[in-house]
Structure 1
Amino acid sequence: MKKTGICLMVFLFVMLFSSCTSQSELVEGRVITYNDGTVCADIKFVYPSSKANEFLASDIREITTKEGQTLLDAVIAEYVSIVNSKYTDNNLINPIEIEKTENRNDIALITLKEPKSTMSDAEKILIQDTLEMTVNNIPMIKGAGVYFGQIQTDLEGNPVYMKKGSVYTKEDVYNQSQRIIRLYYPDSEWKGLLTENRTVTLSKNDKLIEVAIRELLTGPKTEGLKNPFVTGVELVSAVVDSGVCFLDFSAPPVVENVTPQSIYLGLLSIVNTASDAESVDKVQIMVGGKIPEEYSKFSVEKYFEKDQTVILENP
């Protein structure tokens, strides 16, 4: 009887162990926690496809945590490994690197480092949305947000994230995506800049920085903010090169028949908005490919840098 009991225990142990190691028996969402604290789980991964006629690929993978590692961290590490090995070899996507991972009440907030090489907005959106979908496939996670450089927040300061169960098609992910952008406008007394968050829809070929500046030029929607821009002025082009953003406008964008402080804040509205959208070091403001003489007195160099000192706390 004892021998039979021992055999039964061994059989059950083998079955338990093999249930998370047998490739033919992977079950999406299954999680097994062992006595030593390690976790084995079958997680569905969604990532950029390596096939020319497809945008997304997916499969179920067995993930086992290491000592002291959370399942969230293990899943993120596997996703990064997929993108940085299988896909960068074919120059399909730029390498990605994790800056910080937070778990706020089962909401995963993942900040990625700004890519060292040029990454298009379409690539960023593809990475953000597929990683969010993958992390949302972890059973205990209720939502996931992926950000480049800094966490995006709504008007109340809460992180913007994809809720578990959100349904995205490959067209939604690759061709169109909604993003929260941060715009800067002068306060009612022209003492500094206040922020206004706005939701915009990006299509596949849209550049985030162009969308942000064009939205900025439409003027504030929040009461108490001033519009420093000339009506009808348009952004002609936005080019980023070696950490410098070159913005070319159809006419001088900032209203001139006001105080020097007002003009300066108007220029910094553009500079700070552009810096947030693209994480650039410097911004050059041009009209018809040339730097307006009236703007040169506000900067010793040809470029403006983001100024944190003029940013006020939103009421």
Structure 2
Amino acid sequence: MHKLFSGGCMAQSLGKKVARIFSVLVAALLICSAAFLFTACETDHPKIKMTIEFNDKSYELTYKLYRNMYPKTVAHYLELIDMDFYDNTVIHDYSTSSSDGKGQGFYGGGYYMQEDNADRMAELDYEKATMTNDSVTLKNISVWKDTAQNEPLNTLYGEFSANGFKVANNGLTHKKGSLATHYNAVSDANGKKVAVKSNKLGVVEREYKYNSTTSLFFISSSSNSSLDANYCTFGYLADSKNEDKFQELLDAIKDFIADKTEADSEYSFTEEQDYDIEGNEYTGQTEVKYNVPKEEGRITIKKVEVLKY
């Protein structure tokens, strides 16, 4: 009996040891898995889906973003997308030619249509969405009023060559369907500087104009390499299928304009509207003009969502 009892104790002891070792292994695996998930949750190429509505039809466009080239820009726009900032906004400025200096494209990210006036846009409250009691709530801040970095601004550091930013192999170029940042409304007259955290030079002073992007962006409707040095292209359509979808949207707009023009030779797809904006110590500007698509031809961004971080 004593031997049997002793053997049972040994078996129990061995079983406990095995259980403890197994528990330690499981815990280690969980820790490793969590660490892997944490490091793998941010990829070099996040993907987003933008749903655009035009003339009662939806166009879903998937974009591949280039975090490996433009880390601050991609992080900034992903943060706004996670806030549902762009949902139900409108293309507030549409350019059909490059003669105006802006290039061909859709300009969005800043306006929605007023409920009490379907023909008039209202500006999104970016300040309210990104600041609380004068404190910036955005996580990816890289622009300050001062080089000591005591007063952060809620604007984006321009990751393009005119702003002193360099990318290996020259980075992305503006081509049809590409997604790029756009400045806040600015005037070049005052020449005031802000402090930015450069990719190689540390904290340096740069022009506010090049570091003034808030939520604005544009989608190029044609290739225009002349814009490369002064604007950051941070996303391309994910594949040829999405390039075809974008072309469908361009063709639909073209056909819409042709049909309206045939019926009315003086028809204009857009109308110029004046807007008062809140000037600040950097912009020195209080008025802007936009070519706004009319109600019947309105281009609406119904939703933007992250498919992969």
The answer to whether the superposition gives a TM-score over 0.5 is no
Whose Rg is larger? 2
TM-score, normalised via structure 1 length? 0.23
Pick 1 or 2: higher relative contact order, CA cutoff 8 A, min separation 6: 2
TM-score, normalised via structure 2 length? 0.24
